[in-house]
């Protein structure tokens, strides 16, 4: 299933994509696409539906973040060896973990706003993992039982805030709109192998990132189990798993986002995001 949320920001409704690419409304079936909806029981309920009998959503509504009210938005850094190299950093002996505050969540095609004085805002296409079942101290062998599905994430980053301003990476990762998620939450039964997905990002028509989850240092199952050792993952939580090379910071000379830039971001089978950059006031 390809699940989504549509409508004005703050008033999104749950939906599902039919076989023809039309949005069908789920608002009479579930309240929202939240942790309860993506739990094993919630997804089993949705799978029983006859999608063709659901109301078709007219027009082309705004698409919101594909999960509602996640408790956590957890991120993994330096999870591709070639990205670590372009960043001038070594592959860590354990995953680098940081958080993106949920206030940065936005729709996949919403405007990206960079901070007023930002000169080093950057892009990062990533595979997002949506948790479907409570996970605490689980094994890697059992980890995939706790995954509901996958999505596209743009882990936008302000590099000066992240690296030059001292302290935690979180400062550079959480500006409003720095977490586009979606367009769809694709349930795991439709993804044959999360470690064999092509992901890419184009900036102003030029492909700058072009990679595969095959080259992740730490795979999805390992990451889910690893994180569950430190805190309990809850249904609806988002994990974004790191980016392949091609970010602006790694270019020579470095290239960063500026007002008017256009990003197109995709992962095969998981959909495409389209964003225009503006400077915040």
In this structure, the strands spanning 238-240 and 73-77 are parallel
Residue 235, pLDDT above cutoff 80: yes
pLDDT value, residue 86? 75
Residue 90, pLDDT above cutoff 90: no
pLDDT value, residue 166? 82
Residue 29, pLDDT above cutoff 80: yes
In a domain, 44, yes or no: no
Query: What band does 83 get if pLDDT is binned at 50, 70 and 90?
Result: confident
In a domain, 266, yes or no: yes
CATH number at 136 reads 3.90.850.10
Query: What band does 167 get if pLDDT is binned at 50, 70 and 90?
Result: confident
In a domain, 135, yes or no: yes
Query: What band does 110 get if pLDDT is binned at 50, 70 and 90?
Result: very high
HEC per residue, the chain: CEEEEECCCCCCEEEEECCCCCEEECCCCCCCCCCCCCCHHHHHHHHCCCHHHCCECCCCCCECCCCCCCCCEEEEECCEHHHHHHCCCCCCCCCEEEECCHHHEECCCCCEEECCCCCCEECCEEEEEEECCCECCCCCCCHHHHEEEEEEEECCEEHHHHHHCCCCHHHHCCCCCCEEECCCEEEHHHCCCCCCCEEEEEECCEEEEEEEHHHECCCHHHHHHHHHCCCCECCCCEEECCCCCCCHHHCCCCCCCCCCCEEEEEECCCEEEEEEEEECC
Range of the domain at 80: 67-279
Q: 155: how many CB neighbours lie within 10 A of its CB?
A: 26
In this structure, the strands spanning 262-267 and 271-279 are antiparallel
pLDDT value, residue 204? 98
Total of domains in the chain: 1
Q: Which candidate, 105, 84, 103, places its Cα nearest to that of 95?
A: 84
Q: State the burial class of residue 171 (Cβ atoms within 10 Å of its Cβ: 0-12, 13-18, 19+).
A: middle
In a domain, 37, yes or no: no
In a domain, 77, yes or no: yes
Beta bridge partners of 13: 6
In a domain, 252, yes or no: yes
In a domain, 128, yes or no: yes
Rounded Cα gap, residues 27 and 203, in angstroms = 35
- pLDDT-above-90 percentage for the chain: 92
pTM of the full predicted structure?
Answer: 0.96
Q: Long-range contact list for 40-43, CB < 8 A, 24+ apart?
A: 40/132, 40/133, 43/1, 43/132, 43/148, 43/187
In a domain, 193, yes or no: yes
Average pLDDT of the chain is 96
């Amino acid at each position: 299933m390809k699940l989504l949320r549509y409508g004005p920001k703050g008033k999104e409704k749950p939906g599902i994509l039919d076989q023809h690419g039309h949005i069908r409304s789920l608002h009479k079936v579930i309240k929202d696409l939240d942790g309860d909806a993506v739990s094993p029981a919630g997804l089993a309920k949705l799978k029983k539906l006859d999608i063709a009998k659901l109301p078709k959503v007219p027009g082309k509504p705004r698409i919101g973040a594909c999960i509602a009210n996640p408790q956590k938005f957890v991120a993994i850094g330096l999870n591709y060896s070639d990205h670590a190299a372009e960043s001038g950093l070594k592959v860590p002996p354990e995953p680098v973990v940081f958080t993106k505050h949920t206030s940065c969540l936005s729709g996949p095609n919403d405007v990206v706003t960079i901070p007023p004085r930002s000169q080093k805002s950057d892009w990062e296409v990533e595979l997002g993992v949506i948790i479907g079942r409570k996970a605490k101290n689980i094994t890697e062998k059992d980890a995939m039982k706790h995954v509901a599905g996958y999505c596209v994430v743009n882990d936008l980053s302000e590099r000066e805030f992240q690296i030059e301003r001292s302290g935690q990476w979180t400062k550079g990762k959480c500006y409003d709109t720095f977490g586009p998620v979606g367009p769809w939450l694709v349930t795991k039964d439709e993804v044959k192998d999360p470690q064999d997905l092509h992901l890419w990002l184009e900036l102003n028509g030029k492909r700058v990132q072009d990679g595969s989850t095959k080259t992740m240092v730490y795979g999805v199952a390992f990451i889910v189990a690893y994180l569950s050792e430190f805190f309990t993952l809850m249904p609806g939580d988002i994990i974004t798993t790191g980016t392949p090379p091609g970010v602006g910071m790694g270019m020579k000379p470095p290239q960063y986002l500026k007002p008017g830039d256009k990003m197109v971001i995709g992962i095969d089978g998981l959909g495409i995001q389209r964003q225009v950059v503006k400077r915040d006031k």
